[in-house]
Structure 1
Amino acid sequence: MNRHFVKALAVGVGLMASQASHAGVYTDDLGRCLVAHTSEQDRIQLVRWIFLVAALHPAVSDISQVSSAERDTADRGMAELLVRLMTDSCGKQTHDAVQYEGPQAIETSFGTLGQVAMRGLMSDPHVTAGFAGFSKYLDNDKLKAVMAPGK
């Protein structure tokens, strides 16, 4: 059972990058419930957990050092958040979504929550400025040339 929810959450978080979501009515209800029952602090906790998990990838692990204690604290907090949302806050919606639309409903619904949480992160002025940082190195002449009409 735990393995199923861990996989569902991981896939759901991965889905947050996807714009196309084919959810049924019960999955949509669960996604709305998850979003409605999370605070800004809950969403920050989710984003921090996503960051810590992504930092495990070999391509970025050398630029992000996370202690075992920090990772364990984040995992514990994520487990508590997941259980609270799926049982206390959105128990009926979780049951109905899984009952009528299958376990992928959890994946899609948590993907919706992940999208909302990431939107909050990305709208921070520091993050926005960070995304623009590379633009000072762009070769604007080359970009204009390739996008010119008749090209």
Structure 2
Amino acid sequence: MIEFLTLNSLSLHVKKIFKYTFIFIFGLNLNLFSGPFTDEFAKCIVMKTTTQEKTDLVRWIYVTMSFHPQLMDLSNLTADDVEMVNIRVADYMTNVFAYKCNEELNMAIDYEGEESVYYAFELLGEIAMTELMEDQGVSAASELFIDYIDVSIFEQILNY
């Protein structure tokens, strides 16, 4: 039996492909090293970081990236916005390093090196981004470009 895909079902199929690609790109785990102490530190910061703190970290990433010359025209951040985001992240970092996960941090650095901090925060960043992507508005916005895809090209590539 030959299965024919309608434009709507193909669009749904194409949407899934692009959505998974988008999640892969932004959630790409480059964590090639992970020892037991790094794992414990990562577990600590993931478990002891609040939803608001995760949002603060993603906001800091957004603000930081907005300084790139190719992105500056898309942002209208004020100096106060930038300062507030940096203050919140500094407070978070101080809190997590000095109080929440100090023991795990020191063990990870002592036994597995300073890169363990990078890897642990990479995991936290992935989790924070995943949580933001689960928002219906963000999810819908991440699919807006699909309206401009030439479906016939994907019919050919996917042999439909």
Which band: TM-score by shorter chain?
0.7 to 0.9
1:53-106 CA distance string (max 9 Å, x none): 011111111110111111111111101100100110000000000000000000
Instruction: Report if aligned partners of 1:87, 1:94 keep a CA contact under 8 Å in 2.
Output: no
SS where residue 143 of structure 2 aligns?
helix
Q: Distance in 2 between matches of 1:54 and 1:110?
A: 17
1:121-148 CA distance string (max 9 Å, x none): 1110000100111111111111110222
Could you tell me which residue of structure 1 aligns to residue 85 of structure 2?
74
SS where residue 91 of structure 2 aligns?
helix
SS where residue 69 of structure 1 aligns?
helix
Tell me by how many angstroms 1:45 deviates.
0.8
Runs of 5+ unmatched residues, structure 1: 1-15
Q: Distance in 1 between matches of 2:107 and 2:115?
A: 12
Give the greater-gyration-radius structure (CA): 2
Could you tell me which residue of structure 2 aligns to residue 19 of structure 1?
29
Task: Give the TM-score of the pair, scaled to structure 1.
Answer: 0.84
Tell me by how many angstroms 1:17 deviates.
4.2
Instruction: Report if aligned partners of 1:47, 1:118 keep a CA contact under 8 Å in 2.
Output: yes
Provide runs of 4+ in structure 1 moved above 4 Å.
none
Q: Distance in 1 between matches of 2:103 and 2:97?
A: 9
Report sequence identity in percent. Answer: 26
Task: Give the TM-score of the pair, scaled to structure 2.
Answer: 0.80
